[in-house]
């Protein structure tokens, strides 16, 4: 079982009594199977990578499951020389699962669907469970305050044609992070400044973007508009879907077109059937030979959804 468990534990003290949630107590329970072990070491000219096996616990016994140990790999990268000591990058996955877009739950949600979590999505129980398993959901450390503490600047990076797993494009993502880091940490004025609007009309989806250029150093060196079209039945741009024969590859290729000005506008005719999605991708120069890639949000036309939103028991739905 290769699972990653991400927990934040809070312990409150009152009159010398430590109070914790049921999840706190469960996680902090001593377990003789908890351990780390070094599996392999990779040596590179500038750094070493240590691959560890981390066994968190024996979560169930063999009478219930055939893989009772909760474990995962941990990769530690240790540079030979640390040149910057007061900065850290956090890589968080994010996404959404819109029942209204695809008429069901995406098949990656299968584990939750199997235990009927989706039927209770609007229930008080889900809210109470969220308070236990996601203690950051409504605290001072969460997103709104994080953005406020960092000037509120948010840069989007969208990568088309990658499917569900980003592991195959980790070099692309890390290259973007490197360019972003150099342009913000060493010279903040190199941070790209991008604004956009979506003034759609009855016949076209329209995307307008403006680069605020105070220096030739932060003018884009290339601009692309990526666009792709879904099928006629769902507002779904995935490359793989679940059909009666299993997980099925369904190529929806995003194609690019390039322009070379500072104000950008593109109008895409509304499709007669299906949905069209498109966004601008800007490539900016950064320091030390790196680049910054920044994108607008995706404009999807038509704006309406093919399915009604679910509520209560109707949210059980199906996998697609």
pLDDT given for residue 29 in this prediction: 84
pLDDT given for residue 9 in this prediction: 35
Burial 198-221 (b: 16+ CB within 10 A, else e): eebeeeebbbbbebeeeeeebebe
pLDDT given for residue 82 in this prediction: 84
Q: What's the whole-model pTM score? A: 0.63
Contact (CB, 8 A) for 234 and 102: yes
pLDDT, averaged per 10 consecutive residues of the chain (320 residues), comes to: 36 44 78 94 95 92 91 91 76 59 79 85 81 65 60 72 65 78 70 85 90 68 84 71 69 57 81 90 83 88 85 80
Separation of alpha carbons 25 and 23, rounded Å: 5
Q: What angle do CA 238, 241, 242 make, to 5 degrees?
A: 160
pLDDT given for residue 33 in this prediction: 93
pLDDT given for residue 143 in this prediction: 59
pLDDT given for residue 131 in this prediction: 76
How are beta strands 246-249 and 299-301 bridged, if at all? unpaired
Whole-angstrom CA distances from 311 to 99, 120, 240, 269 are 10, 9, 26, 34
How far, in whole angstroms, is CA 23 from its chain's centroid?
A: 25
How buried is 175 (Cβ within 10 angstroms: 0-12 exposed, 13-18 middle, 19+ buried)?
Answer: middle
pLDDT given for residue 200 in this prediction: 93
Tokens representing 39 are: 């599996």
DSSP 156: B
Separation of alpha carbons 24 and 38, rounded Å: 28
Q: How many CB atoms lie within 10 A of CB 191?
A: 18
Separation of alpha carbons 153 and 195, rounded Å: 11
CA nearest neighbour of 296 among 198, 152, 164, 212: 198
pLDDT given for residue 44 in this prediction: 95
């Amino acid at each position: 079982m290769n699972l990653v468990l991400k927990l934040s534990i809070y312990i409150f003290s009152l009159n010398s009594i430590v109070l914790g949630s049921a999840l706190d107590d469960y996680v902090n329970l001593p377990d003789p199977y908890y351990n780390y072990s070094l599996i392999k070491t990779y040596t590179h000219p500038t750094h070493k990578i240590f691959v560890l096996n981390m066994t968190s616990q024996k979560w169930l016994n063999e009478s219930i499951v055939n893989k009772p140990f909760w474990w995962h790999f941990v990769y530690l990268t240790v540079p030979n020389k640390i040149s910057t000591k007061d900065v850290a990058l956090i890589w968080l996955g994010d996404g959404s699962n819109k029942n209204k877009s695809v008429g069901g739950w995406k098949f990656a949600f299968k584990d939750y669907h199997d235990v009927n979590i989706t039927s209770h999505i609007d229930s008080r129980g889900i809210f109470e469970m969220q308070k236990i398993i996601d203690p950051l959901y409504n605290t001072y450390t969460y997103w709104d305050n994080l953005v406020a503490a960092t000037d509120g600047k948010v840069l989007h990076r969208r990568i088309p044609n990658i499917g569900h797993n980003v592991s195959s494009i980790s070099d692309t993502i890390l290259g973007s992070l490197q360019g972003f880091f150099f342009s913000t940490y060493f010279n903040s004025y190199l941070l790209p400044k991008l604004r956009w609007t979506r003034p759609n009309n009855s016949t076209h989806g329209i995307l307008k973007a403006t680069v605020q250029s105070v220096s030739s150093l932060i003018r884009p060196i290339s601009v692309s508009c990526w666009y792709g079209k879904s099928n006629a039945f769902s507002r779904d741009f995935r490359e793989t879907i679940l059909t009666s024969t299993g997980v099925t590859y369904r190529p929806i290729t995003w194609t690019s077109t390039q322009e070379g000005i500072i104000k950008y506008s593109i109008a895409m005719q509304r499709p007669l059937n299906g949905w069209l999605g498109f966004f601008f991708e800007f490539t900016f120069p950064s320091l030390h030979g790196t680049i910054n890639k920044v994108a607008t949000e995706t404009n999807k036309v038509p704006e309406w959804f093919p399915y009604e939103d679910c509520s209560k028991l109707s949210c059980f739905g199906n996998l697609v």
